[in-house]
Amino acid sequence: MWVTLTYVSLWQVRVVGARLSRQFPGWLVPKPFRVLPPPESEYVGVWDVPPATARDRLAECGFSQMIRAYLHAYERDGKVLYEVASCSYRPGGTFGRWQLHVRLFPTPEGTTDVWCHWELNPNVAPLAHLRQEGYDPEDGERRLRELLDDVSFE
């Protein structure tokens, strides 16, 4: 596994997992491994940069790629668009109480769809996190816009 992650990014591992998961009927796939559409309430807009640039910019702002998060994809014009980043920003550090969770998806035009929410950190409060206590897409968007104050989302 470590050798694989040395040459392959976490987001690429997650895309392969999502594609594999979608090959099976939902009832055969345990919920943590099912591919879900992102909640509409989390949609921020289109960032006019390619996903690789968006990932790099989030990393510059202190975001980390997450392996432990639900897999997401959605269809647009008959094509499945898989999440190409699931990142968290934890102002209090790895064991801080809260996190900003951002998901990036490629668009057919080569730009990036952005989805996000504010939530409890699963490292600190795993059960409360799963119950979505404190889950807040609006606060997530506000915080993301503050961190990326020079970016406008279409």
pLDDT tens, the chain, 154 aa long:
444 445 568 777 867 776 777 788 888 888 777 878 899 999 999 999 999 999 999 999 999 998 778 888 888 888 888 899 999 999 999 999 999 999 999 999 999 999 999 999 999 999 998 899 999 999 999 999 999 999 999 8
Residue 114 pairs in a beta bridge with 45, 104
Residue 35 pairs in a beta bridge with 71
CA distance 35 to 32: 9
* pTM of the model as a whole: 0.85
Task: Give the DSSP letter of residue 39.
Answer: P
Nearest to 113 by CA among 136, 85, 138: 85
CB 132 within 8 A of CB 119: yes
CB 40 within 8 A of CB 112: no
CA distance 94 to 76: 35
Exposure pattern of 96-134 as b/e (b: 16+ CB <10 Å)?
Answer: eebbbbbbbbbeeeebbbbbbbbbbbbbbbeebbeeeeb
